[in-house]
Amino acid sequence: MLKRISFILFGLMMTFVAHAAIDTYNFKSVEEEQQFRELTGQLRCPKCQNNSIADSNAPIATDMREKVYELMEQGQSRQDIINYMVDRYGNFVTYEPPMTPATIFLWLIPALCVVIGAAATVMLSRRRKVSASGVESETLSEQEKARLQQLLSDKTGAKGRKKS
C-alpha cells in the first residue's frame, strides 16, 4: 500500500515539473543569442512593475520574447525591434523613453514645486515683518529711540511706584 501511495505522489509531482517549461530558442550564432538577451533585458514587461521581459514570467512577456525572436529571425535590426515594441506597447516598454514635451513637463514639475515653495516662504516671511496695523517696520531714528527709551523707563518707573 505504501508503495502505491509513493508511486502516485511521485507521478503527481512529476506533472508539476512538466509544466515548468523553459523557453528555448535556436540561434544561428552566439552573437545573435547575445543580442536576444540584451534586447529582452532592455524591454520592460507591460504587466510587471519593473521587470524586463527576460525576467518576467507573465504571459505577455512570453509573447514579447517570442515576437523578439521572430523579428530577429526575419532579419530585423535591433532598433526596428525596439520601434515595433514601442509602437505596439508604448514608450513604457523601454527603460529610457524618448524626451517629449510630456516627459519634459514631468521632469519640470518637481522643480516648479520647489520654486513655488520658495516664493511662498519669502512672501510669508515678508508678511511677518508687517506689523498688526499694516505698517511695515522700519529702523528708528536716534530721536525716536530716545523717546521710546523715555516711555519705557517712565512705564517701568510707574510700575515700581505702584508696588510700594
C-alpha cell of residue 154 = 517712565
* pLDDT tens-place string over residues 144-154: 889 989 988 88
Following CA atoms 57, 59, 65, 71 in sequence, which dihedral angle do they give, to the nearest 10 degrees?
A: 180
- State the CATH class of domain 2-93: mainly alpha
**pLDDT-flagged residues of the chain (< 70):** 16-23, 129-138, 157-164
**Which DSSP symbol is given to 92?**
G
Please give the model's pTM, rounded to 2 decimal places.
0.53
How high is the mean pLDDT of the chain? 83
* Cα three-residue angle 145-150-154, rounded to 5 degrees: 150
Q: What are the residue boundaries of the structural domains of the chain, listed by start?
A: 2-93, 101-163
Place of cell 538577451: 37
